[in-house]
Amino acid sequence: MNRSVKKMALELKRILQKDVTNEEDSLKRPEGGSRKDSLKRPEGGSRKGSLTANEERVLLDVFLSFIILRVLQAKRNNLTENKEDSLTANMEGDLQLFGLQLFGKSGSDSNLLGDYLSGVQFLNRNFDCCYLVDDIKSRITCQTIEKIRDLFQSVKDEDWKKEEIISWSYEYFNEDNLKRPKGGSSKDSLTASKDLKGKNGVISQFYTPKWIVDYLVENTLGKYYTDDKDVDVEDVKIIDPACGCGNFVIGVYDKLREMYQNKGYDDALIPKLIITKNLYGIDIDENAVEITNLLLRLKALEDGAYEKFETNIVAVPGKDSLTANEEGQNEYLKKFEKIGSLMRREDVLSLKESGINDEPLKKALDILSLKYDIVLTNPPYLDSSDYDFELKRYINEDYSEFKKNLYACFIKKSYELVKMDGFVGMITPQTFMFIGSYENIR
Ligand SMILES: C[S@@+](CC[C@H](N)C(=O)[O-])C[C@H]1O[C@@H](n2cnc3c(N)ncnc32)[C@H](O)[C@@H]1O
């Protein structure tokens, strides 16, 4: 499926780039504003040349909304079949939208725009996406939707039913940004991606294929939690400290559901237990975290749980979004924003104890201060020659023996997160097994 998905995703991005961002005015995030604020169009303001980071953001939101709506449409039977009894009145009304034939229609149709916008509102209401309908409305035309509808036919319906198409599409969207500019060096492409993310080090964003996820889940969780194990399945904690779009989180969800079922749990209770008690994740990319949370909600819906649960999957908060910092906290926050889940335990605990009011930050720190039965991840691979000045400083200070590559730092960090008798499952390059400078890691 990957080849057709990649072609479709790149073409979708091209169509939207041409039709949606081809305007004279730019979308600027107000100083200190949130992701949502960035979608508000400032009065006036012109743009010449390439897309600004904020326009990229709008582009991504529209891009994802189309992909997600198409996946929901393909899955609508799984979502509604035999589930009537457990539907809340609200959700039942919303689910009517799945009957909408946005992508099934043919020829010109003046209702296409209305159908699409209702779909976007549905995503906002039910999946906590924050797509601003008014901004999208002024940029999308029926003709654009018709082009997209035709394009989507290049991917088979059975492939649209696989939710991982969302994370793959996101990867292809980003991979396109990583392409080296004409005549530019590899460093140029790295810089472009850093600008887009506004975070350092997020350039290794290649997600893990399902068969590798399943293999690692089987050989960690599958071996750790056997039927004779003297542990309650509800107490098993699993983290992906660089969770991206949640390929491991979703793979683990499936395995845990099987375990709960084997223990005789009521099917209706299982999604809540998995999402609130077993699964943890953190990443420095807030868009990827949003996708992971959406996929978890989709899983729960397919399993008949319509209530929204607060997950333990969070993005590392940026220091700028925080207010009223106590003396001394700022240095820690700067570091946290830069090195994300590589923040060492002593620093996590010091920051926690310094009194934090900000809820997302508190949650991220809580997650990093726990110990886990299983750590599963495909960490970022970033050579030290690509670290920027600050990242280099922090990594040299905290991971002096592992500093050659970020993946090596993640090996160290994973062992800090796991319990003594727990399991770590990772995908890494082989270099650490052979090269002299990695001797200490071995
Ligand atoms: C190779 S991707 C893997 C994603 C996911 N684990 C998977 O297997 O599909 C690496 C991820 O690491 C994240 N990342 C990079 N540096 C990080 C850091 N310091 N702390 C947390 N996440 C980080 C990136 O945003 C990216 O999502």
Nearest-angstrom CA–CA distance, 43 and 363: 36
Higher pLDDT, residue 93 or 407? 407
Cα–ligand 1 centroid distance for 282 (angstroms): 8
Best probe residue, ligand 1, of 200, 202, 314 (max atoms within 8 Å of C-beta): 202
Residue nearest to atom 4 of ligand 1 (CA): 244
Q: Which helix (H) or strand (E) holds 239?
A: strand 238-240
Cα–ligand 1 centroid distance for 71 (angstroms): 24
Residue nearest to atom 18 of ligand 1 (CA): 340
Best probe residue, ligand 1, of 243, 383, 387 (max atoms within 8 Å of C-beta): 243
Q: Using the predicted structure, report yes or no on whether residue 205 has a pLDDT greater than 90.
A: no
Residue nearest to atom 6 of ligand 1 (CA): 243
Cα–ligand 1 centroid distance for 379 (angstroms): 5
Residue length, the chain?
442
pLDDT of 98 reads 55
Higher pLDDT, residue 401 or 94? 401
Structural contact between residues 398 and 342, judged by C-beta atoms closer than 8 angstroms: yes
Residues 169-178 have pLDDT tens digits of 999 998 866 5
Nearest-angstrom CA–CA distance, 364 and 179: 32
The residues near 29 (Cβ < 8 Å, ≥ 6 apart) are 35, 37, 38, 54
Nearest-angstrom CA–CA distance, 257 and 234: 11
Render 322-365 in DSSP notation, one character per residue.
--SPPTTHHHHHHHHHHHGGG--HHHHHHHHHT----HHHHHHH
First-to-last alpha carbon distance for the chain, in angstroms, is: 37
Cα–ligand 1 centroid distance for 203 (angstroms): 9
Cα–ligand 1 centroid distance for 251 (angstroms): 16
The residues near 248 (Cβ < 8 Å, ≥ 6 apart) are 208, 213, 216, 217, 240, 281, 376, 377, 378
Best probe residue, ligand 1, of 168, 205, 344 (max atoms within 8 Å of C-beta): 205
Render 7-52 in DSSP notation, one character per residue.
HHHHHHHHHHHHHTS-SSS---PPTT--TTGGGSPPSS----SSPP
CB count within 10 Å of CB 137 equals 13
| Residue 186 exposed, middle or buried by CB count within 10 Å (0-12, 13-18, 19+) | exposed
Q: Using the predicted structure, report yes or no on whether residue 99 has a pLDDT greater than 70.
A: no
Q: What is the pTM of this model?
A: 0.86
Higher pLDDT, residue 220 or 43? 220
Nearest Cα to 424, choosing from 363, 371, 383?
Answer: 371
pLDDT of 97 reads 56
Q: Using the predicted structure, report yes or no on whether residue 442 has a pLDDT greater than 90.
A: no
Cα–ligand 1 centroid distance for 314 (angstroms): 12
pLDDT of 338 reads 92
Residue nearest to atom 10 of ligand 1 (CA): 380
pLDDT of 197 reads 43
Structural domains of the chain ordered from first start: 2-177 (no CATH), 210-438 (3.40.50)
Closest ligand 1 atom to residue 213 Cα is: 8
| Residue 392 exposed, middle or buried by CB count within 10 Å (0-12, 13-18, 19+) | middle
Best probe residue, ligand 1, of 210, 293, 378, 426 (max atoms within 8 Å of C-beta): 378
Residues 416-434 have pLDDT tens digits of 999 999 999 999 888 777 7
Cα–ligand 1 centroid distance for 234 (angstroms): 26
Nearest-angstrom CA–CA distance, 301 and 307: 8
Closest ligand 1 atom to residue 282 Cα is: 21
**What is the average pLDDT across 153-161?**
92
pLDDT of 176 reads 67
Cα–ligand 1 centroid distance for 189 (angstroms): 18
Residue nearest to atom 24 of ligand 1 (CA): 202
Cα–ligand 1 centroid distance for 185 (angstroms): 24
Nearest-angstrom CA–CA distance, 199 and 191: 11
Nearest-angstrom CA–CA distance, 86 and 13: 38
Structural contact between residues 205 and 244, judged by C-beta atoms closer than 8 angstroms: yes
Main-chain dihedrals φ then ψ at residue 426, nearest 5 degrees: -140, 155
Cα–ligand 1 centroid distance for 34 (angstroms): 22
Cα–ligand 1 centroid distance for 284 (angstroms): 7
Closest ligand 1 atom to residue 338 Cα is: 19
CB count within 10 Å of CB 4 equals 12
Residue nearest to atom 27 of ligand 1 (CA): 244
Main-chain dihedrals φ then ψ at residue 225, nearest 5 degrees: -105, 90
Nearest-angstrom CA–CA distance, 234 and 237: 8
With cut-offs at 50, 70 and 90, classify the pLDDT of residue 160: very high
Q: Using the predicted structure, report yes or no on whether residue 184 has a pLDDT greater than 50.
A: no
Q: Using the predicted structure, report yes or no on whether residue 37 has a pLDDT greater than 70.
A: no
* Long-range pairs for 149-157: beta carbons < 8 A, 24 or more residues apart: 149/102, 149/103, 149/105, 149/112, 151/8, 151/11, 151/12, 151/15, 152/8, 152/66, 152/70, 152/103, 154/4, 154/7, 154/8, 155/1, 155/4, 155/5, 155/8, 156/1, 156/4, 157/74
Structural contact between residues 17 and 55, judged by C-beta atoms closer than 8 angstroms: no
Cα–ligand 1 centroid distance for 410 (angstroms): 10
Cα distances (angstroms) measured from residue 293 to each of 37, 133, 397 = 21, 21, 33
Cα–ligand 1 centroid distance for 342 (angstroms): 11
Give the binding-site residues of ligand 1, using a 6 Å CB cut-off: 201-202, 204-208, 240, 242-244, 247-248, 282-285, 288, 339-342, 377-378, 380
